[in-house]
Structure 1
Amino acid sequence: MKLILMLGEGMIVSVQLFLLTLLFAIPLGLVVAFGRRSKSYIIRGITGIYISIMRGTPLMLQLVAVFYGPYYIYGGKIDRFAAAIIAFTLNYAAYFAEIYRGGIESIPKGQYEAGEVLGFTRPQVFFKIILPQVVKRILPAISNEVITLVKDTALATVIGVSEMFRVTNNEMSRIASIRPLFVAGGFYYIMNLIVAQLFKFTEKKLNYYR
Protein backbone atom coordinates (compact mmCIF):
# COMPACT_ATOMS: atom_id res chain seq x y z
CA MET A 1 0.00 0.00 0.00
CA LYS A 2 2.84 2.37 0.87
CA LEU A 3 4.43 1.67 -2.51
CA ILE A 4 1.19 2.42 -4.34
CA LEU A 5 0.75 5.67 -2.41
CA MET A 6 4.28 6.82 -3.22
CA LEU A 7 3.88 6.00 -6.90
CA GLY A 8 0.48 7.69 -6.78
CA GLU A 9 2.21 11.03 -6.19
CA GLY A 10 4.16 10.55 -9.39
CA MET A 11 0.97 9.43 -11.11
CA ILE A 12 -0.69 12.76 -10.24
CA VAL A 13 2.17 14.63 -11.89
CA SER A 14 1.90 12.40 -14.97
CA VAL A 15 -1.84 13.05 -15.21
CA GLN A 16 -1.24 16.79 -14.89
CA LEU A 17 1.33 16.65 -17.70
CA PHE A 18 -1.13 14.68 -19.81
CA LEU A 19 -4.14 16.94 -19.27
CA LEU A 20 -2.29 20.25 -19.61
CA THR A 21 -0.60 19.09 -22.79
CA LEU A 22 -3.96 18.23 -24.34
CA LEU A 23 -5.45 21.52 -23.11
CA PHE A 24 -2.83 23.53 -24.99
CA ALA A 25 -1.86 21.23 -27.88
CA ILE A 26 -5.35 20.55 -29.25
CA PRO A 27 -6.23 24.21 -29.98
CA LEU A 28 -2.66 25.08 -30.99
CA GLY A 29 -2.72 22.22 -33.47
CA LEU A 30 -5.87 23.65 -35.06
CA VAL A 31 -4.20 27.06 -35.42
CA VAL A 32 -1.16 25.45 -37.03
CA ALA A 33 -3.41 23.44 -39.36
CA PHE A 34 -5.03 26.67 -40.53
CA GLY A 35 -1.54 28.09 -41.05
CA ARG A 36 -0.61 25.12 -43.24
CA ARG A 37 -3.67 25.82 -45.39
CA SER A 38 -3.13 29.58 -45.49
CA LYS A 39 -2.97 31.41 -48.81
CA SER A 40 0.13 33.19 -47.54
CA TYR A 41 3.34 31.54 -48.70
CA ILE A 42 5.18 32.90 -45.65
CA ILE A 43 2.68 31.50 -43.12
CA ARG A 44 2.63 28.14 -44.89
CA GLY A 45 6.41 28.09 -44.89
CA ILE A 46 6.75 28.96 -41.20
CA THR A 47 4.20 26.39 -40.06
CA GLY A 48 5.70 23.81 -42.41
CA ILE A 49 9.17 24.30 -40.93
CA TYR A 50 7.75 24.14 -37.40
CA ILE A 51 5.99 20.83 -38.11
CA SER A 52 9.06 19.43 -39.83
CA ILE A 53 11.29 20.22 -36.84
CA MET A 54 8.83 18.94 -34.23
CA ARG A 55 8.19 15.69 -36.09
CA GLY A 56 11.77 15.22 -37.26
CA THR A 57 13.57 15.50 -33.92
CA PRO A 58 13.19 13.34 -30.77
CA LEU A 59 10.82 14.57 -28.08
CA MET A 60 13.55 13.93 -25.52
CA LEU A 61 15.85 16.34 -27.36
CA GLN A 62 13.08 18.94 -27.42
CA LEU A 63 12.58 18.58 -23.67
CA VAL A 64 16.28 19.15 -23.04
CA ALA A 65 16.36 22.12 -25.45
CA VAL A 66 13.38 23.85 -23.81
CA PHE A 67 14.71 23.31 -20.28
CA TYR A 68 18.40 24.11 -20.81
CA GLY A 69 18.04 26.49 -23.77
CA PRO A 70 17.19 29.64 -21.75
CA TYR A 71 20.28 29.18 -19.57
CA TYR A 72 22.69 28.86 -22.48
CA ILE A 73 21.00 31.59 -24.54
CA TYR A 74 20.60 34.35 -21.96
CA GLY A 75 21.40 32.86 -18.57
CA GLY A 76 17.73 32.41 -17.68
CA LYS A 77 15.99 29.59 -15.89
CA ILE A 78 12.69 27.82 -16.44
CA ASP A 79 10.68 25.59 -14.13
CA ARG A 80 11.08 21.89 -14.93
CA PHE A 81 7.36 21.19 -15.04
CA ALA A 82 6.68 24.26 -17.21
CA ALA A 83 9.47 23.21 -19.58
CA ALA A 84 7.89 19.77 -19.92
CA ILE A 85 4.47 21.28 -20.69
CA ILE A 86 5.95 23.60 -23.33
CA ALA A 87 7.93 20.81 -25.03
CA PHE A 88 5.03 18.35 -25.00
CA THR A 89 2.61 20.99 -26.28
CA LEU A 90 4.82 22.10 -29.16
CA ASN A 91 5.54 18.50 -30.14
CA TYR A 92 1.99 17.18 -30.04
CA ALA A 93 0.49 20.30 -31.63
CA ALA A 94 2.55 19.52 -34.73
CA TYR A 95 1.13 16.00 -34.95
CA PHE A 96 -2.41 17.17 -34.24
CA ALA A 97 -2.05 19.86 -36.92
CA GLU A 98 -1.30 17.31 -39.61
CA ILE A 99 -4.18 15.12 -38.47
CA TYR A 100 -6.54 18.12 -38.57
CA ARG A 101 -5.26 19.17 -42.01
CA GLY A 102 -5.78 15.70 -43.41
CA GLY A 103 -9.30 15.58 -41.99
CA ILE A 104 -10.23 19.00 -43.32
CA GLU A 105 -8.86 18.30 -46.79
CA SER A 106 -10.76 15.00 -46.94
CA ILE A 107 -14.09 16.86 -47.00
CA PRO A 108 -15.36 17.45 -50.57
CA LYS A 109 -15.24 21.09 -51.71
CA GLY A 110 -18.86 20.79 -52.76
CA GLN A 111 -19.91 20.90 -49.12
CA TYR A 112 -18.27 24.30 -48.70
CA GLU A 113 -20.03 25.56 -51.80
CA ALA A 114 -23.38 24.12 -50.68
CA GLY A 115 -23.07 25.85 -47.30
CA GLU A 116 -22.33 29.19 -48.94
CA VAL A 117 -25.30 28.75 -51.30
CA LEU A 118 -27.50 28.28 -48.21
CA GLY A 119 -26.34 31.65 -46.93
CA PHE A 120 -23.75 30.57 -44.35
CA THR A 121 -20.58 32.58 -43.92
CA ARG A 122 -17.26 30.75 -44.35
CA PRO A 123 -16.72 30.44 -40.56
CA GLN A 124 -20.28 29.14 -40.16
CA VAL A 125 -19.76 26.60 -42.94
CA PHE A 126 -16.59 25.37 -41.28
CA PHE A 127 -17.83 25.13 -37.70
CA LYS A 128 -21.39 23.95 -38.40
CA ILE A 129 -20.91 21.69 -41.42
CA ILE A 130 -17.26 20.77 -41.92
CA LEU A 131 -15.85 20.50 -38.39
CA PRO A 132 -18.36 17.92 -37.07
CA GLN A 133 -17.48 15.63 -39.98
CA VAL A 134 -13.76 16.24 -39.53
CA VAL A 135 -13.97 15.32 -35.83
CA LYS A 136 -15.59 12.00 -36.68
CA ARG A 137 -12.97 11.18 -39.30
CA ILE A 138 -9.92 12.06 -37.24
CA LEU A 139 -10.94 10.48 -33.92
CA PRO A 140 -9.04 7.20 -34.49
CA ALA A 141 -5.83 9.05 -35.35
CA ILE A 142 -6.25 11.46 -32.45
CA SER A 143 -6.87 8.58 -30.05
CA ASN A 144 -3.59 6.97 -31.12
CA GLU A 145 -1.68 10.19 -30.41
CA VAL A 146 -3.38 10.66 -27.04
CA ILE A 147 -2.53 7.11 -25.99
CA THR A 148 1.07 7.72 -27.05
CA LEU A 149 1.07 10.90 -24.96
CA VAL A 150 0.18 8.91 -21.85
CA LYS A 151 3.35 6.85 -22.31
CA ASP A 152 5.48 9.79 -23.43
CA THR A 153 4.93 11.58 -20.12
CA ALA A 154 7.63 9.25 -18.79
CA LEU A 155 10.16 11.16 -20.91
CA ALA A 156 9.81 14.16 -18.59
CA THR A 157 12.14 12.33 -16.23
CA VAL A 158 15.05 13.38 -18.48
CA ILE A 159 14.79 16.96 -17.13
CA GLY A 160 14.09 15.90 -13.55
CA VAL A 161 10.30 16.15 -13.39
CA SER A 162 9.07 13.90 -10.59
CA GLU A 163 6.49 12.09 -12.67
CA MET A 164 5.62 8.44 -12.19
CA PHE A 165 8.54 6.91 -14.09
CA ARG A 166 11.11 8.92 -12.14
CA VAL A 167 9.44 8.05 -8.83
CA THR A 168 9.40 4.40 -9.93
CA ASN A 169 13.13 4.41 -10.65
CA ASN A 170 13.85 6.02 -7.29
CA GLU A 171 11.76 3.43 -5.48
CA MET A 172 13.39 0.55 -7.36
CA SER A 173 16.80 1.82 -6.25
CA ARG A 174 15.65 2.42 -2.68
CA ILE A 175 14.09 -0.98 -2.02
CA ALA A 176 16.21 -2.94 -4.53
CA SER A 177 13.14 -4.52 -6.10
CA ILE A 178 11.44 -4.60 -9.48
CA ARG A 179 7.96 -4.41 -7.93
CA PRO A 180 7.58 -0.64 -8.50
CA LEU A 181 8.07 -1.22 -12.23
CA PHE A 182 5.10 -3.58 -12.39
CA VAL A 183 2.93 -1.20 -10.37
CA ALA A 184 3.88 1.68 -12.68
CA GLY A 185 3.09 -0.49 -15.69
CA GLY A 186 -0.35 -1.12 -14.23
CA PHE A 187 -0.92 2.61 -13.77
CA TYR A 188 0.02 3.37 -17.39
CA TYR A 189 -2.17 0.55 -18.64
CA ILE A 190 -5.18 1.74 -16.65
CA MET A 191 -4.70 5.31 -17.90
CA ASN A 192 -4.58 4.14 -21.50
CA LEU A 193 -7.56 1.85 -20.96
CA ILE A 194 -9.60 4.82 -19.70
CA VAL A 195 -8.50 6.97 -22.65
CA ALA A 196 -9.34 4.22 -25.15
CA GLN A 197 -12.80 3.70 -23.63
CA LEU A 198 -13.52 7.45 -23.71
CA PHE A 199 -12.66 7.63 -27.40
CA LYS A 200 -14.68 4.49 -28.12
CA PHE A 201 -17.69 6.04 -26.36
CA THR A 202 -17.23 9.29 -28.31
CA GLU A 203 -17.05 7.45 -31.64
CA LYS A 204 -20.32 5.69 -30.86
CA LYS A 205 -21.96 9.01 -30.03
CA LEU A 206 -20.85 10.42 -33.40
CA ASN A 207 -22.08 7.46 -35.45
CA TYR A 208 -24.96 9.57 -36.76
CA TYR A 209 -22.50 11.36 -39.06
CA ARG A 210 -22.06 8.22 -41.15
Structure 2
Amino acid sequence: MLSTVIDLLAKGSNFERLIYGLWITIKLSLISAGLSMLFGIVVGMIMTIKNPFVKFFTQLYLQTIRIMPPLVLLFLAYFGLARIFNLHISAEASAIMVFTIWGTAEMGDLVRGAIISIPKIQIESGLALALSKFQIYLYIIIPQTVRRLIPLTMNLITRMIKTTSLVVLIGIVEVLKVGQQIIDANRFDYPSGALWIYGVIFILCFFSCWPLSMLAKYLEKKWA
Protein backbone atom coordinates (compact mmCIF):
# COMPACT_ATOMS: atom_id res chain seq x y z
CA MET A 1 0.00 0.00 0.00
CA LEU A 2 2.66 2.51 1.07
CA SER A 3 4.94 1.37 -1.73
CA THR A 4 2.15 2.04 -4.24
CA VAL A 5 1.82 5.62 -3.03
CA ILE A 6 5.59 6.16 -3.09
CA ASP A 7 5.92 4.65 -6.58
CA LEU A 8 3.05 6.74 -7.93
CA LEU A 9 4.41 9.99 -6.47
CA ALA A 10 7.98 9.21 -7.51
CA LYS A 11 7.00 8.45 -11.10
CA GLY A 12 8.19 11.27 -13.31
CA SER A 13 7.64 14.58 -11.51
CA ASN A 14 4.24 13.76 -10.00
CA PHE A 15 5.05 14.91 -6.48
CA GLU A 16 6.69 18.13 -7.66
CA ARG A 17 3.64 18.84 -9.81
CA LEU A 18 1.34 18.35 -6.81
CA ILE A 19 3.44 20.74 -4.73
CA TYR A 20 3.36 23.33 -7.52
CA GLY A 21 -0.42 22.92 -7.83
CA LEU A 22 -0.72 23.43 -4.07
CA TRP A 23 1.39 26.59 -4.38
CA ILE A 24 -1.02 27.93 -7.02
CA THR A 25 -3.94 27.27 -4.65
CA ILE A 26 -2.21 28.94 -1.71
CA LYS A 27 -1.04 31.88 -3.82
CA LEU A 28 -4.54 32.64 -5.09
CA SER A 29 -5.94 32.26 -1.56
CA LEU A 30 -3.37 34.49 0.16
CA ILE A 31 -3.59 37.28 -2.43
CA SER A 32 -7.39 37.20 -2.27
CA ALA A 33 -7.38 37.02 1.54
CA GLY A 34 -4.94 39.94 1.86
CA LEU A 35 -7.05 42.15 -0.42
CA SER A 36 -10.23 40.99 1.33
CA MET A 37 -8.89 41.99 4.73
CA LEU A 38 -7.78 45.39 3.44
CA PHE A 39 -11.07 46.21 1.70
CA GLY A 40 -13.15 44.37 4.31
CA ILE A 41 -11.99 46.65 7.11
CA VAL A 42 -13.11 49.68 5.11
CA VAL A 43 -16.43 48.08 4.14
CA GLY A 44 -17.02 46.96 7.73
CA MET A 45 -16.51 50.49 9.02
CA ILE A 46 -18.90 51.80 6.36
CA MET A 47 -21.48 49.21 7.46
CA THR A 48 -21.56 50.77 10.94
CA ILE A 49 -22.68 54.14 9.55
CA LYS A 50 -26.26 54.81 10.62
CA ASN A 51 -27.58 55.96 7.30
CA PRO A 52 -30.52 54.19 5.61
CA PHE A 53 -29.03 54.48 2.11
CA VAL A 54 -25.59 53.23 3.21
CA LYS A 55 -27.20 50.40 5.14
CA PHE A 56 -29.37 49.42 2.15
CA PHE A 57 -26.49 49.25 -0.35
CA THR A 58 -24.07 47.49 2.00
CA GLN A 59 -26.71 44.89 2.90
CA LEU A 60 -27.59 44.48 -0.78
CA TYR A 61 -23.93 43.83 -1.55
CA LEU A 62 -23.51 41.42 1.37
CA GLN A 63 -26.67 39.41 0.72
CA THR A 64 -26.05 39.24 -3.03
CA ILE A 65 -22.57 37.80 -2.48
CA ARG A 66 -23.85 35.34 0.12
CA ILE A 67 -26.72 34.13 -2.05
CA MET A 68 -24.73 33.88 -5.30
CA PRO A 69 -22.60 30.69 -5.48
CA PRO A 70 -18.86 31.44 -5.94
CA LEU A 71 -18.84 29.22 -9.04
CA VAL A 72 -21.44 31.44 -10.74
CA LEU A 73 -19.36 34.51 -9.89
CA LEU A 74 -16.29 32.83 -11.40
CA PHE A 75 -18.13 32.09 -14.64
CA LEU A 76 -19.53 35.63 -14.79
CA ALA A 77 -16.10 37.16 -14.24
CA TYR A 78 -14.16 34.89 -16.59
CA PHE A 79 -16.65 34.27 -19.39
CA GLY A 80 -19.26 37.03 -18.97
CA LEU A 81 -17.03 40.11 -18.65
CA ALA A 82 -14.82 38.97 -21.52
CA ARG A 83 -17.77 38.72 -23.90
CA ILE A 84 -19.80 41.72 -22.76
CA PHE A 85 -16.94 44.23 -22.54
CA ASN A 86 -14.57 42.51 -24.98
CA LEU A 87 -11.89 42.23 -22.31
CA HIS A 88 -9.11 39.69 -21.94
CA ILE A 89 -9.00 38.68 -18.28
CA SER A 90 -6.74 35.81 -17.29
CA ALA A 91 -8.18 32.94 -15.28
CA GLU A 92 -6.01 33.78 -12.25
CA ALA A 93 -7.00 37.46 -12.34
CA SER A 94 -10.67 36.47 -12.56
CA ALA A 95 -10.28 34.11 -9.60
CA ILE A 96 -8.53 36.73 -7.47
CA MET A 97 -11.19 39.31 -8.36
CA VAL A 98 -14.08 36.99 -7.47
CA PHE A 99 -12.58 35.71 -4.23
CA THR A 100 -11.66 39.26 -3.20
CA ILE A 101 -15.24 40.45 -3.80
CA TRP A 102 -16.57 37.44 -1.86
CA GLY A 103 -14.01 37.76 0.93
CA THR A 104 -14.53 41.53 1.26
CA ALA A 105 -18.24 41.00 1.87
CA GLU A 106 -17.59 38.32 4.50
CA MET A 107 -14.76 40.27 6.12
CA GLY A 108 -16.79 43.46 6.14
CA ASP A 109 -19.60 41.75 8.04
CA LEU A 110 -17.09 40.34 10.54
CA VAL A 111 -15.58 43.80 11.07
CA ARG A 112 -19.04 45.31 11.50
CA GLY A 113 -19.93 42.71 14.13
CA ALA A 114 -16.63 43.22 15.97
CA ILE A 115 -17.02 47.01 16.05
CA ILE A 116 -20.60 47.03 17.33
CA SER A 117 -19.68 44.46 20.00
CA ILE A 118 -17.43 47.01 21.72
CA PRO A 119 -19.31 48.51 24.71
CA LYS A 120 -20.51 52.05 23.98
CA ILE A 121 -19.26 53.20 27.37
CA GLN A 122 -15.69 52.86 26.12
CA ILE A 123 -16.38 55.19 23.21
CA GLU A 124 -18.19 57.61 25.53
CA SER A 125 -15.21 57.50 27.89
CA GLY A 126 -12.93 58.37 24.99
CA LEU A 127 -15.12 61.35 24.13
CA ALA A 128 -15.08 62.41 27.78
CA LEU A 129 -11.28 62.41 27.64
CA ALA A 130 -11.49 64.79 24.65
CA LEU A 131 -10.23 62.19 22.17
CA SER A 132 -11.06 62.81 18.54
CA LYS A 133 -12.98 60.21 16.51
CA PHE A 134 -9.73 59.24 14.79
CA GLN A 135 -8.02 58.69 18.15
CA ILE A 136 -10.98 56.67 19.42
CA TYR A 137 -10.74 54.39 16.40
CA LEU A 138 -6.94 54.19 16.64
CA TYR A 139 -6.58 53.53 20.38
CA ILE A 140 -9.91 51.98 21.43
CA ILE A 141 -11.87 50.45 18.57
CA ILE A 142 -9.19 49.05 16.24
CA PRO A 143 -7.09 47.18 18.87
CA GLN A 144 -10.16 45.43 20.28
CA THR A 145 -11.57 44.77 16.83
CA VAL A 146 -8.35 43.09 15.73
CA ARG A 147 -8.42 40.77 18.75
CA ARG A 148 -12.00 39.79 18.06
CA LEU A 149 -11.27 39.23 14.37
CA ILE A 150 -8.22 36.96 14.63
CA PRO A 151 -10.03 33.58 14.91
CA LEU A 152 -12.77 34.64 12.47
CA THR A 153 -10.21 35.84 9.92
CA MET A 154 -8.24 32.61 10.12
CA ASN A 155 -11.46 30.69 9.54
CA LEU A 156 -12.21 32.85 6.48
CA ILE A 157 -8.73 32.21 5.05
CA THR A 158 -9.07 28.43 5.46
CA ARG A 159 -12.50 28.60 3.80
CA MET A 160 -10.94 30.54 0.94
CA ILE A 161 -8.17 27.94 0.51
CA LYS A 162 -10.81 25.21 0.26
CA THR A 163 -13.08 27.19 -2.05
CA THR A 164 -10.28 27.92 -4.52
CA SER A 165 -10.63 24.33 -5.72
CA LEU A 166 -13.43 25.72 -7.93
CA VAL A 167 -10.89 27.53 -10.12
CA VAL A 168 -10.17 24.26 -11.90
CA LEU A 169 -13.45 24.83 -13.79
CA ILE A 170 -12.09 27.97 -15.47
CA GLY A 171 -8.86 26.29 -16.55
CA ILE A 172 -6.44 26.99 -13.69
CA VAL A 173 -4.14 24.02 -13.06
CA GLU A 174 -4.11 23.87 -9.26
CA VAL A 175 -3.59 20.92 -6.93
CA LEU A 176 -6.88 19.13 -7.70
CA LYS A 177 -6.38 19.47 -11.45
CA VAL A 178 -2.84 18.11 -11.17
CA GLY A 179 -4.21 15.21 -9.13
CA GLN A 180 -6.77 14.43 -11.82
CA GLN A 181 -4.08 14.53 -14.51
CA ILE A 182 -1.88 12.10 -12.55
CA ILE A 183 -4.83 9.74 -11.98
CA ASP A 184 -5.82 9.77 -15.66
CA ALA A 185 -2.24 9.18 -16.83
CA ASN A 186 -1.78 6.18 -14.50
CA ARG A 187 -5.24 4.61 -14.48
CA PHE A 188 -4.03 1.34 -16.01
CA ASP A 189 -0.80 0.91 -14.03
CA TYR A 190 -2.41 2.03 -10.74
CA PRO A 191 -6.16 1.24 -10.81
CA SER A 192 -6.60 2.40 -7.20
CA GLY A 193 -4.43 5.48 -7.71
CA ALA A 194 -7.33 7.92 -7.28
CA LEU A 195 -7.69 6.97 -3.61
CA TRP A 196 -4.02 7.57 -2.85
CA ILE A 197 -3.64 10.75 -4.89
CA TYR A 198 -6.69 12.35 -3.29
CA GLY A 199 -5.41 11.14 0.07
CA VAL A 200 -2.12 12.94 -0.52
CA ILE A 201 -4.00 16.07 -1.62
CA PHE A 202 -6.05 15.87 1.59
CA ILE A 203 -2.85 15.71 3.67
CA LEU A 204 -1.29 18.62 1.76
CA CYS A 205 -4.39 20.79 2.22
CA PHE A 206 -4.66 19.81 5.89
CA PHE A 207 -1.10 20.89 6.63
CA SER A 208 -1.71 24.10 4.69
CA CYS A 209 -4.69 25.08 6.88
CA TRP A 210 -3.70 23.53 10.23
CA PRO A 211 -0.92 26.08 11.03
CA LEU A 212 -3.45 28.89 10.59
CA SER A 213 -5.74 27.30 13.19
CA MET A 214 -2.82 26.86 15.59
CA LEU A 215 -1.76 30.48 15.05
CA ALA A 216 -5.30 31.68 15.79
CA LYS A 217 -5.40 29.67 19.04
CA TYR A 218 -1.98 30.99 20.06
CA LEU A 219 -2.96 34.61 19.46
CA GLU A 220 -6.26 34.13 21.30
CA LYS A 221 -4.43 32.80 24.38
CA LYS A 222 -1.74 35.49 24.17
CA TRP A 223 -4.25 38.33 23.92
CA ALA A 224 -6.80 36.90 26.38
Partner of 1:9: 20
Give, in angstroms, the shift of residue 52 of structure 1.
0.9
Provide the C-alpha distance between the structure 2 equivalents of 1:180 and 1:127, rounded to a whole number of angstroms: 49
1:149 paired with 2:148, answer no
Provide the C-alpha distance between the structure 1 equivalents of 2:31 and 2:23, rounded to a whole number of angstroms: 12
1:88 paired with 2:99, answer yes
Provide the C-alpha distance between the structure 1 equivalents of 2:141 and 2:107, rounded to a whole number of angstroms: 17
Q: Of the candidates 109, 112, 117, which is equivalent to residue 120 of structure 2?
A: 109
Give, in angstroms, the shift of residue 44 of structure 1.
2.5
Give, in angstroms, the shift of residue 142 of structure 1.
2.3
Tell me which amino acid in the other structure corresponds to 2:105.
A
1:129 paired with 2:140, answer yes
| Superposed counterparts of 1:14-163, under 5 Å | 14-163=25-174
Contact 1:172 1:181 in 2 (8 A): no
Give, in angstroms, the shift of residue 85 of structure 1.
0.3
1:182 paired with 2:199, answer yes
List structure 1 runs of 4+ shifted beyond 3 angstroms: none
1:200 paired with 2:211, answer no
**Runs (5+) with no aligned partner, structure 1:** none
Provide the C-alpha distance between the structure 2 equivalents of 1:15 and 1:143, rounded to a whole number of angstroms: 14
Give, in angstroms, the shift of residue 93 of structure 1.
1.0
Provide the C-alpha distance between the structure 1 equivalents of 2:87 and 2:160, rounded to a whole number of angstroms: 28
Give, in angstroms, the shift of residue 50 of structure 1.
1.0
TM-score computed with the length of structure 2 as normaliser: 0.87
Give, in angstroms, the shift of residue 204 of structure 1.
2.2
**Runs (5+) with no aligned partner, structure 2:** 1-9, 188-192
Tell me which amino acid in the other structure corresponds to 2:216.
F
Provide the C-alpha distance between the structure 2 equivalents of 1:180 and 1:91, rounded to a whole number of angstroms: 30
* Partner SS, residue 172 of structure 2: coil
Contact 1:3 1:180 in 2 (8 A): no
Tell me which amino acid in the other structure corresponds to 1:131.
I
Provide the C-alpha distance between the structure 2 equivalents of 1:23 and 1:144, rounded to a whole number of angstroms: 14
Provide the C-alpha distance between the structure 2 equivalents of 1:11 and 1:143, rounded to a whole number of angstroms: 18
Provide the C-alpha distance between the structure 1 equivalents of 2:212 and 2:167, rounded to a whole number of angstroms: 20
TM-score computed with the length of structure 1 as normaliser: 0.92
Contact 2:48 2:116 in 1 (8 A): no
Determine what percentage of the aligned residue pairs are the same residue. 27
Provide the C-alpha distance between the structure 2 equivalents of 1:132 and 1:206, rounded to a whole number of angstroms: 11
**Equivalent residues, number:** 207
Most deviating of 35-44 and 20-29 = 35-44
1:168 paired with 2:185, answer no
